[in-house]
Structure 1
Amino acid sequence: MQARAVASALQQMIEYDKTGFVPLHVAGEPLGCVNQQWLQRLQAEYSSLFRLEQGVLTALPAAHDFAERSRQLAQTATQWRDAGWLNGWRNEKFMAYFQDGTPCFEMERAAFRPLGLTSRAVHLNGLTRMPDGEIRMWIGRRSPFKDVAPNRLDNLMGGGIAAGETLQVALEREGWEEAGIPASKLELLPQAALLLAERPVARGLHREWLHVFDVWLDTQEIPQNQDGEVEAHLLMPLAEVEQHLINGQFMSDAALAAIDCMARLGYWGQDAALDALLAQVRAPIGSDIAIR
């Protein structure tokens, strides 16, 4: 076991220089963060929608309700796409929430990162106990034809929660599409963890609440991808998962979910450095709406 190396990898995933980002407020509440490149773009081209005042970027000053905020941002995101500022357009909307859980607006998911908005996702760790008692983990290898992170390693399943979609519906939909897990296997599954993934990316700031679940599969239950996103599912000993985590072969959010799962299983025992890092990203289940 290599707890120190895993802690070092985890530290690189979750710690970054925040000084280059400006907080974004909507209707008086902090909802995102914008890097310097996007700050300059918004001030130069969209000053009527985004105003910098005393170090805070205020968005949509004239929009007073959910529908109007969503309308203005849909139009703006389309303009960003047409100008070549956005890639990965999905024609799928995510929801941004006020801190009390009230929806603030919905917006194309590709535009969340430029504004540093917090999205939500479900991740599923697949675990199998072998006849000799050893615990192994199901790991997905992404298709080499994926536009995002081809051939990288993933959890059994991971996917975003769309606007208007419940956590349970997203879990069951993604569980079937990515791993062929029937809804009956997931409908009463308790949530195991809530993690905040946050890191700079080329498009801006990735910030996402990961709703993490663990599902135990019998040795006869073999995941089967349905939508072409996953090339193969591999049943790995935890020591092999650990080495792939250290080598950086996982997608970042999947790595976070896998490390958390292995820590909860007691794989590294009590390791103060690793536990302290995980404490930075763990949150009480159900508290994902408020931004910390």
Structure 2
Amino acid sequence: MLVTARARLAAALAPSARRYRPLLVNADIAGWVDDARAERLARFGDVFVVAEDAVEFASDLADEPARSDAMAFVAATLYREGALSAWRNERYHVGPALGAAPLFRLERAAARYFGVHTWAAHINGLIRRAGETEMWLARRSHMKAIDPDKLDNLVGGGVATGLSVAETLVKEAWEEASIPAALARQAQRRDEVEIRRQQHDGLQWETIFAHDLELPADFSPMNQDGEVAEFRLVALSEVVRLLNCAGSDSEMTVDAALVVLAYLDRIAATGSMRRIPFY
């Protein structure tokens, strides 16, 4: 039933033909930069040392505050040049692992330009009644810089500096769907979806922590931050149909499709938590 969806996702996640160079901080890989972007970064000679096989920080940028300040300047310059997506005024903590000491902090709009590893928290909003399961989906606002007008998970957002996955979940659940904090905290982490995907604004290197949240049958989501155009409550059979849609107003984002597909695979199998590398 999901052959079309799997084929679409396989195409979207196919390895890029572009060559990438690691962005290094000492021995740690902080990101991945393609050749065209590496050439642009070479003009920031006081910030980067660009070699044929890697991009490194200048030797005098020896600690996190210095690198963060330098990256703030670089990101602002790239934004003025039109090289980044919409400015978020929100910084990501860039490190070798989630929760590790940061190598530097980076404006969210520049995350894909530098191919840094980001983390996100999503929710499958579920309602169970009469022995059947239904799922809430959200349609992204047409004003969104990324994937406007496409269907999405009920809740989803990046883990910003200073927030844990759990805190991000509570924050995004309220802003995107008016889910009270006490209810949002009942969400159960179930899957990890890993993505490395070439995008027009760089490399998306992201881990999505996918959660299931059972909602009251009479729950009706309301958006608070203007990022959602509408909500739809659909049966799982309709979810399957929507996963197979491409190039229409029913198309899901790749991220949401991966999260939903992981959920469907899981409930068709053991129901246990799994780690699912898609690329």
Cα distance, 1:83 vs structure 2: 2.6
Output the CA distance in 1 between the equivalents of 2:18 and 2:121.
29
RMSD of aligned Cα (Å): 2.0
Cα distance, 1:162 vs structure 2: 1.2
Query: 1:245/1:90 Cα in 2 relative to 1: closer, same or farther (>3 Å)?
Result: same
Equivalent residue, structure 2, for 1:193? 191
- Aligned match of 2:235 in 220, 234, 237? 237
Matches within 5 A, 1:92-131: 92-99=90-97, 101-131=100-130
Equivalent residue, structure 2, for 1:151? 149
Cα distance, 1:40 vs structure 2: 1.5
Equivalent residue, structure 2, for 1:280? 277
Cα distance, 1:54 vs structure 2: 5.2
Query: 1:110/1:60 Cα in 2 relative to 1: closer, same or farther (>3 Å)?
Result: farther
Q: Which deviations, in whole Å up to 9, do the C-alpha atoms of 1:73-101 show, x marking residues without a partner?
A: 11111121223322311111111012482
Alignment partner of 1:254 is 2:264: no
Query: 1:185/1:18 Cα in 2 relative to 1: closer, same or farther (>3 Å)?
Result: farther
How many residues align structurally? 270
Cα distance, 1:4 vs structure 2: 2.1
Partner SS state of residue 135, structure 1? strand
For the 8 Å contact 2:194–2:276, the answer to whether it is kept is no
Partner SS state of residue 174, structure 2? helix
- Aligned match of 1:88 in 86, 97, 109? 86
Output the CA distance in 2 between the equivalents of 1:212 and 1:163.
19
Q: Which amino acid aligns with 2:89?
A: N
Output the CA distance in 2 between the equivalents of 1:62 and 1:86.
26
Cα distance, 1:9 vs structure 2: 2.1
Cα distance, 1:60 vs structure 2: 3.8
For the 8 Å contact 1:120–1:210, the answer to whether it is kept is yes
Partner SS state of residue 206, structure 2? strand
Length-normalised TM-score, structure 1: 0.86
- Aligned match of 2:61 in 60, 63, 68? 63
Length-normalised TM-score, structure 2: 0.89
Identify unmatched segments of 5+ residues in structure 2.
Answer: none
Identify unmatched segments of 5+ residues in structure 1.
Answer: 271-277, 283-292
Output the CA distance in 2 between the equivalents of 1:49 and 1:141.
40
Percent identical across equivalent pairs?
A: 31
Cα distance, 1:18 vs structure 2: 5.3
Equivalent residue, structure 2, for 1:173? 171
Partner SS state of residue 265, structure 1? helix
Output the CA distance in 2 between the equivalents of 1:59 and 1:15.
30
Output the CA distance in 2 between the equivalents of 1:252 and 1:148.
11
Equivalent residue, structure 1, for 2:37? 38
For the 8 Å contact 1:27–1:61, the answer to whether it is kept is no
Q: Which amino acid aligns with 2:109?
A: A
Output the CA distance in 2 between the equivalents of 1:34 and 1:261.
32
Q: Which amino acid aligns with 1:222?
A: S
Q: Which amino acid aligns with 1:119?
A: T
